Amino acid sequence: MITSYFYCKKLVVTLFTSTLLFISFYPFAQTGSLDTRFGQQGKVITYFNGVFVDMRASTLQPDGKILCVGGYTTTEPSGGFIIVRYLQDGEIDSSFGDNGKVFTDFGYDYELATGIALSSDNKIIVGGYGSIGFLNIKYDVLVSKYKMNGSLDSTFGNNGKTIKSFGYDENIYSTIIQDDDKIVLSGNTTSDLLVSRFNSNGEADLSFGVNGAVTTDFFDREFGRSSAIQKDGKILLAGFKNLSHPQFIMDRYLSNGQLDLSFGNQGKVVRDIPGGDERIYSIGLQRDGKIIVGGVSGVTLSASNENITLLRYNIDGTLDASFGESGMIITSFEGVNTRVQSILISPDNKITIVGTSYEKDSYGALDFVLARYSENGNIDSSFGIDGKVISDFGGFETNATGLLQPDGKTVVTGMTTNLIETEYKLALARYNGDDPDRNKYVRIKHWLHHHGITWEDKPNNLINYYSIQSSTNGNAFTEVARIFSNHYGGIQTYTAANNATANYRVAAVSNTGNITYSNTLTLTATPTIILYPNPAKNNLQIQGLPAGITKLTVTDLSGNTSIIATTNSTVYSINIAQLTSGNYLLNIKTANEVITKQFIKE
């Protein structure tokens, strides 16, 4: 059960000539409480009338709509992938597929969608696996692509669907998309970790591994459960090995599929926590590149002592001793076993875990659980009750997946059922985030097209001055400027003295000497980019692009997109022959900023 507390967010006083005094206030709900504006008092349950569903993953569209995927079976029997889309308020989006639902059958005896991601043009990619036979079962990779209305994209694979066998039994548990729209599907074979990559048209990427796939042996039986792509394009896969005594494992691959030997021990990391068994179910990346993995530890043969477990690793695969206790956090919920199934990292580096709980010594009374931590691993007592939340839908809740909305609210998706009904139902819940106005005056953001930072100086904030601090390594900061608060509100700005790469933060110092630090931003030297010829007729040459992956978008002056391209080269040529004559904008998106250049098409 969740208890909601309310704080006064804003006080408005209006005095009329009749001397009547009207006072109105807008409450802000306790962080971690159910958002009563979502579904029915924060919860949504969807029935499927004879269709048995196994929901496994979800994602957010840019417009805030929620996509959930999994597998379905009927009494015929038949089945396949299922996608359900919800509006921001929790109502099913009837404009999607057939009244909000899409069913896709690949013709296998059993099919399960385990991952979902969005391409750069907002097409929907769903990955999973299918099996043939009931004795000598054969597992294959299944992936499908959909337009935003839910119809299959006929330009992908075979009329929107791809079936692929790499010569193993392939079980896929993670689907992610690279910046160049290549699709990475990860999981395991019957004995090893598996990573496969497909081009955006559904064909296996032959430049990756062997014919599009790579397997990695930890010399045991391995289970890959969650993957992530670093800013440099390297691929991380985490899971566990060994059935009798599971242990955390993780490895990293170069963009061509080879193991990255600079990571961990020759590309691999193994972690055995004394006193129990360990399984990784989720992985998350911080903006500084540090890696957080989460799952469960403390498992015994009687399944009586499972606890939420988080570990943080440095970029090189070594354990980060500054996190929790020697790089690890173990959190217990009183009276129940718990496990992590999703890791969410907010822009201010707070860590929210989403998972499930069940009664000790049994698998009864499963519920959704959430917990939130500060960047250094301390439990965040402002979230829920002492940093923790348990949500009961009145039955058995499983397969929890978490999503973090841009406004800081958390959406949990999964399944629920009870002892009377054998049919699983789709369950969603949404939880309130932090007050968006709290500490807003020390929330800094990067100026696009400028080498500087900006933040809001809130009225009557009791701030004496703002200390602008810089650091070359992101750890040791020194003051480079001091800006005094005017106490009337408005936007404060600071421009760096030179065009050099540095890390910046703002320390808000109150009249009583209390200090509140902002998030940290990295400002990089703005590259000198040259376009030629300009005007151009058929090809526009771009010179001086920064190292790393860069996204290029050509728009007209009204903002309509004409061309999208991605490159990791410092020199690139765009074919503009198809454009009509006129003025255009080239938007160059790097890891740190967006640079806009204008050119003329002859």
How far apart, in Å, are the Cα atoms of 255 and each of 135, 211, 215, 312, 504? 37, 14, 14, 23, 31
* Distance in angstroms (rounded) separating the CA atoms of residues 403 and 342: 8
pLDDT value at position 8?
37
The DSSP code for 123 is -
Query: Cβ(203)–Cβ(180) under 8 Å?
Result: no
Single-letter residue type at 458:
K
- Burial letters 15-45, b for 16+ CB under 10 A, else e: eeeeeeeeeeeeebbbbbbbbeebbeebbbb
Is pTM beyond 0.85? Reply is no
pLDDT for residue 304: 63
CA 197, CA 127: separation in Å to the nearest integer?
11
Strands 582-589 and 594-601: antiparallel
Instruction: Please give the structure tokens belonging to residue 549.
Output: 């992956």
Check residue 593 and give its pLDDT.
Answer: 64
For 245-291, what is each residue's pLDDT tens digit?
Answer: 899 999 999 999 999 999 999 999 999 988 788 999 999 999 899 99
Instruction: Report d(CA 385, CA 371) in Å as an integer.
Output: 9
User: CA 324 to CA 475: how far, in whole Å?
Assistant: 18
Note whether 241 and 224 are within 8 A (CB). no
What per-residue confidence (pLDDT) applies to 453? Answer: 78
CA quadruple 165, 168, 174, 180: dihedral positive or negative? Answer: negative
Contact 569, 545 (CB under 8 A): yes
- Could you report how far apart the first and last alpha carbons of the chain are, in Å? 66
Beta-bridge mates of residue 239: 224, 249
Joined together, the tokens standing for residue 252 give 């990293």
pLDDT at 2: 35
Tell me which DSSP letter residue 89 carries.
T
3-state SS, residue 442: helix
Within the chain, which residues score under 50 in pLDDT? 1-27, 437, 439-441, 449
Q: How far is CA 245 from each of CA 191, 218, 383, 485, rounded to the nearest angstrom?
A: 15, 14, 34, 58
Closest CA to 112 of 133, 134, 128: 128
What pLDDT score does 334 carry? 86
Q: What is the largest CA-CA distance in the chain?
A: 85
Note the pLDDT of residue 23: 29
